[in-house]
Each structure stands twice: as C-alpha cells, then as structure tokens.
Amino acid sequence: MTPGELSRTVLCAVRRAVDDGELSVCVPERALVTVPGPGGCGDYATNIALQLARPAGRPPRQVAEVLRDRLVRTDGVTRVEITGPGFLNISLGSGQAADLVRRVLRDGLAYGHGDVLAGQVVALCVPYEIRAEVVADVLARIGASQGARVEIAHGHGRDVNLRPVPAPEDPAPLGPDAARWALLHPAPHDRPRITADHLVQREGNPLFRVRYAHARTRALHRNAADLGFAAEPGPVEDGAQLVAALADHPRVLTAAFTQRGPDRLARHLVTVADAALALLPAVLPRGGEKPSAAHRARLALAEAAGTVLAGGLTLLGIDAPEHL
C-alpha cells in the first residue's frame, strides 16, 4: 500500500464515519500520510483527526478513536495506534513492503511512471536562460512519465509562464551532471549556487550522497552474486523509512510536475539515498555468517532503492554511475 493508497483508505474511513452518523464533517479532498515523527510508531502516520476535530466539534483523540475502529478493519492494516494529541499511527502487514519491492524491481526505471496526467497538453514558455531551459527540459521528462505532453517555447515578458530565478553565472564549468544538479536542487524561487561544492565527494554534498548510494547498491548486487545469493523481497527490520520513501516516489513525480518544481524530485532522491545508506551496512553477511532470508530481503530492498535513485536521476538528466 503506497502513501497515496493509504491516504485514500483514510478518507474512506472518514466517509464511512460520516455516513454512519459518527462524524459530522465535510470529507476533505486529501489526507496527509507521512513517516511517523518523534514519539510515533508503525509504518505511517496521519494528522487527519486533528484536521477534523474543530469542524466535528470534538476532541482530536475522540475523532481518532472513531477512525481507528474503521481503519483496523481494512485489508493490509495490522495495527492502528493513537499517539500525542490525536495522531493515527498505522502499521501495515509485512507483505506490503515485499509487494512494493517486487513492484519496483519489476518496473525498473519506469517505477512511478503512469497515466495520471494522460491527455494533458502543457505549454511552457521560458526565457532564453540556462536554468529556465534545464527546468523546462526536466518538467517535460517528468510530465511524459505521467502521461502528459509538454510543449516548450521561448518568449519574453508576459508570454513567459516558467521563470525560475536565473543562475548567477554559467554552470558549465561544473560539468553536465553537477551543473544540472546545481540548477535543479534549489526550489525555482531560490537562487542557485554555482560553486565547486557540487563536485566534492563527501557526505555534505547531496548529489554525491545520491550517486554514491546508487553505486553502493550496485556493488552490493555484485558482491552478493559472488557470495552465491540473490535478492528475494521479504520483511526487513528497520526498513520502514526506506520503504515509505520508495512508496512515495509516484506521488513525488506527479507533484514535481503539477507544482512545476523538479527540486521536489531532487530532494526526494536525497531522502531515499539517506534512508538507503543507513540500511546498506547490514545487507551482506558478516564474518562466518551464511546468507539468510533476512539478507536476501535487505538486498532486495537495497536494489529497489538503487532502481528508484537511477530512475530519478535519469529524469533529472543526470548520470547514475555503477562505480563511484
């Protein structure tokens, strides 16, 4: 179950509570589902009860209790706990994570692509400026991945409908990959930094972390083959944050296009990379250990993370090296 699917499940629980007369509210269009914050638990959390408390005229925890009773009866949901003032913390069955990993590995670089924007034709008019050109190119790539067709033209003044803050200088000396990252990672309304920091191979450089995480997943695939075992999706302890980030990838792609913000994809890749790097040291057997089901499941999750990183970098027009 992806965050988007779980969001719809939460809204269905709200709708059933309204239909049953337990809540008197207008069903919102969207329920925010995120990784649990400090003090939370489970795989995902939502603040929908806090959002509905005032219009319902009831304390948030009472609203949460009404929704919990319905959510726990949903297929795929194993537990729902209420924390803090009324946050709903949702645990999914272990098979949900394995199914997601299988889907990512099956779809490959096309994971997250779909037809949610099918039939839309979007005209982007940009000024003659390098950052605007790169942003428009990436939006066209992301739009196509969601079924939209993007037509790019150049213009001046009022004709322009995509005008990110221009680069302060020519980014070409950084090389094609670092130059694109320097232009895409900041939000369009932020001024990009054209500095050599984007070339430094250390943890403080987000581009390095993303590419390094991808290269490490490929190295683990090779190392596992040398040890005689392969990936097999299954439950992974402490993998919830990475699973949630992978599940969120389709939504991020759609949002990056509809909000005209390719930085959303760039920052999402950093989130995936950071979650993956925390998992990777435990993928291979240590010492005299023999490969187990847990190792195979961690390897599958790592390979899925590498697939999402490679697919995202490809949409940004940036190379995803297997060796770094």
Taking alpha carbons only, the member of 41, 44, 51 closest to residue 14 is 51
Q: Give me the half-sphere count of Cα atoms (radius 13 Å) on the Cβ side of residue 280.
A: 22
Q: What is the pTM of this model?
A: 0.78
pLDDT at 236: 86
270 or 237, greater pLDDT: 270
Over residues 73-87, the pLDDT tens digits come to 887 788 899 999 999
Task: Check residue 98 and give its pLDDT.
Answer: 87
**Rg over CA atoms, the chain:** 22
**Confidence at residue 5, expressed as pLDDT on a 0 to 100 scale:** 81
Structure tokens at 196: 């050599």
How far does CA 292 lie from the centroid of its chain?
29
**Mean pLDDT computed over 91-104:** 83
Check pLDDT > 80 for residue 2. no
User: 64, 40 in Cβ contact below 8 A?
Assistant: no
- 3-state DSSP assignment of residue 286: coil
Distance CA 248, CA 94 (A): 17
Can you tell me the mean pLDDT for 62-81?
89
Token representation of residue 57: 């005229």
Between 37-46, 47-56, 108-117, 184-193, the lowest mean confidence (pLDDT) is in 37-46
Q: What is the DSSP letter of 85?
A: T
Please report which residue ranges of the chain form alpha helices under DSSP H.
Answer: 3-19, 48-56, 60-71, 94-107, 130-145, 176-184, 206-227, 240-247, 249-258, 263-279, 293-316
- Output the pLDDT for position 101: 94
pLDDT in the model for residue 41: 82
Q: Return d(Cα 13, Cα 34) in angstroms, integer.
A: 17
Q: Is the pLDDT of residue 63 over 90?
A: yes
For residue 26, give the amino acid letter.
C
Residue 136 or residue 30, greater confidence: 136
Q: Which of 29, 30, 26 is nearest to 18 (CA)?
A: 26
* The pLDDT value given to residue 324: 82
- The per-residue pLDDT of the chain, averaged, comes to 92
C-alpha to C-alpha distance for 312 and 308, rounded to whole angstroms: 6
Instruction: Give the bridge partners for 121, in sequence order.
Output: 149
Confidence of residue 264 (pLDDT cuts 50, 70, 90): very high
Sign of the C-alpha dihedral computed for residues 243, 247, 253 and 259 taken in this order: negative
Other Cβ atoms within 10 Å of 20 Cβ, number: 10
Alpha-carbon torsion, ordered 101, 255, 175, 314, to 10 deg: 40
d(CA 49, CA 67): 8
**How do residues 151-210 score in pLDDT, each as one tens digit?**
999 998 889 999 999 999 999 999 999 999 999 999 999 999 999 999 999 989 999 999
**pLDDT above 70 coverage of the chain, percent:** 99
For residues 24-30, average pLDDT: 89
Question: Average pLDDT of 128-148?
Answer: 96
Q: Cβ of 120: how many Cβ atoms within 10 Å? A: 14
Residue 94's pLDDT is 62
